[in-house]
A and B are shown apart, each in its own frame.
Chain A
């Protein structure tokens, strides 16, 4: 009996539209664009800071422009997508075994959120005090 297997191809550019979990994954991946854009703005800001008060004021006026604000709000949203997705994945990538038991995933994730909160508060205090 002759065989004739049929190969169904995955659409190379639109595959992720097929399932909610793939869309979620792509949203997380897209956060890399947000990180890249933010770093670009930040590095330019550091250059402007070195160039003097006027240059720095120019950079600040970009950040506070409507476009700058919208851009940063999008970046902020995607950075939260990254943080939550990253923490969620930690127990899978790093298991901690104590004797015959593993430290429960929610404990590991919870510890990350606690540290995240502490780091964030520390930076906010720095910004408020400095």
Chain B
């Protein structure tokens, strides 16, 4: 039987899953829910956010978090497709990993633009 090439994608999935587990809830809280509640208004202001994301260390950390989370979600969506009875694994894998690669590129461009 041929060895599978899922290994590297699973590795990204596992690493990303760990990152997501630790940081995503608080990130969603800060960037998604707090603004409506009026919390951390200073932090989410344009000037503060530009300065924050402008820091190169923050850029690197954000890039790491976002891309690992992207590849985590991509791999899991491949499994979800399988679980919902979609048996065309090759096109599904190509689509989700392609989107993750595109997302990785766009994240880099966006971060460099701040």
Number of interface residues of B (CB under 8 A): 52
- Digit string of A95-130 for contact with B (CB within 8 Å is 1, else 0)? 000000000000000001001100110011011111
B49 at interface (Cβ–Cβ under 8 A)?
yes
Q: How many A-B pairs fall under 8 Å by CB? A: 151
Q: How far is the CA of A112 from the CA of B113 in the complex (A)?
A: 35
The smallest beta-carbon distance between A114 and chain B, in angstroms, is 11
User: Is the beta-carbon distance between B76 and A32 smaller than 8 angstroms?
Assistant: yes
Q: CB within 8 Å of A: which of B67-109?
A: 69-70, 72-74, 76-77, 79-80, 83-85, 103, 106-107, 109
- Jot down 21 A-B pairs with beta carbons below 8 A, ordered by A: A32-B76, A35-B73, A36-B77, A38-B24, A38-B28, A40-B103, A43-B106, A46-B107, A46-B110, A49-B114, A53-B46, A60-B35, A68-B32, A69-B36, A76-B33, A119-B22, A119-B26, A120-B25, A123-B26, A124-B26, A130-B42
Q: Which residues of B contact A (CB under 8 A)?
A: 17-18, 20-36, 40, 42-44, 46, 48-53, 62, 66, 69-70, 72-74, 76-77, 79-80, 83-85, 103, 106-107, 109-111, 113-114
